[in-house]
Amino acid sequence: MTTAERAEVELANRQGRLHPSQRGQVLDGTFWLAAVLAAAGLVTAVALPVTSLETRFGAGLAAASLVAALGPAVPILALACWLAFVCGRRLADVREGRLVAITGWTHDFGRQRPDRAYPIVLRTRLSKGLNEQYFLVAGGKEFRLYRLSGLRERIQAERNNTVYLTPRSKLLINVLPA
């Protein structure tokens, strides 16, 4: 990303808007996987009872056989509805394009646990392979900061920062010095 593009993105975020180049952060691979699974679950929840009723029971259908045919479809339909709800929240975040800003003093605790609640907290944990993993806690939610995202390098500890989140799905979009 060039300096001019980064300045444009930061200006949009400071105005509380999601920049069009950041839509990919909301509609990422997780979104598309959930969308495909929701569609497949809906098709399966409809097709499973229909094929089961036609082949197994024929025209004479009793009440017990209806329950037996619908039994496997209900959990699949519930899961598909939940995945569709999650996808709908992300789509609404992109459609509205608003961001929630959390501004406050950023405390870097390293590997220690915070003694109380702070607006923005940086933490470090050791994983099983003894690699350090960085986390940001803001708005009551913990976000993992991946090395490839570049957010960890932009956060300046022990000063005021502003964290930008999507309002519905609570995804970390950007962190800027306040």
Residue where a domain stops, chosen among 79, 96, 113 = 96
According to the model, what pLDDT value does residue 71 have? 82
Q: Decide if 23 is inside a domain.
A: no
Q: Please tell me whether residues 92 and 103 are part of one structural domain.
A: no
According to the model, what pLDDT value does residue 40 have? 96
Residue where a domain stops, chosen among 96, 131, 152 = 96
According to the model, what pLDDT value does residue 91 have? 97
Q: Decide if 138 is inside a domain.
A: yes
Q: Decide if 24 is inside a domain.
A: no
Q: Please tell me whether residues 83 and 103 are part of one structural domain.
A: no
User: Taking the model in full, what pTM does it have?
Assistant: 0.81
Q: Please tell me whether residues 152 and 135 are part of one structural domain.
A: yes
Q: Please tell me whether residues 83 and 62 are part of one structural domain.
A: yes
Q: Please tell me whether residues 91 and 114 are part of one structural domain.
A: no
Q: Decide if 59 is inside a domain.
A: yes
Q: Please tell me whether residues 8 and 35 are part of one structural domain.
A: no
Q: Decide if 62 is inside a domain.
A: yes
Residue where a domain stops, chosen among 54, 77, 96 = 96
Q: Please tell me whether residues 12 and 36 are part of one structural domain.
A: no
According to the model, what pLDDT value does residue 20 have? 94
CB of 107 closer than 8 Å to CB of 90 = no
Q: Decide if 135 is inside a domain.
A: yes
Average pLDDT for consecutive 10-residue bins of the chain (178 residues)? 86 94 94 97 86 57 64 91 97 96 89 80 82 87 82 84 93 90
Domain extent for 158: 3-17+99-177
Q: Decide if 79 is inside a domain.
A: yes
**Domains in the chain, number:** 2
- Long-range contacts formed by 173-178: CB under 8 A, 24+ apart: 173/13, 173/18, 173/22, 173/25, 173/26, 173/99, 174/9, 174/10, 174/13, 174/22, 174/99, 175/136, 175/151, 176/10, 176/13, 176/14, 178/103
According to the model, what pLDDT value does residue 19 have? 95
CA distance 174 to 165: 7
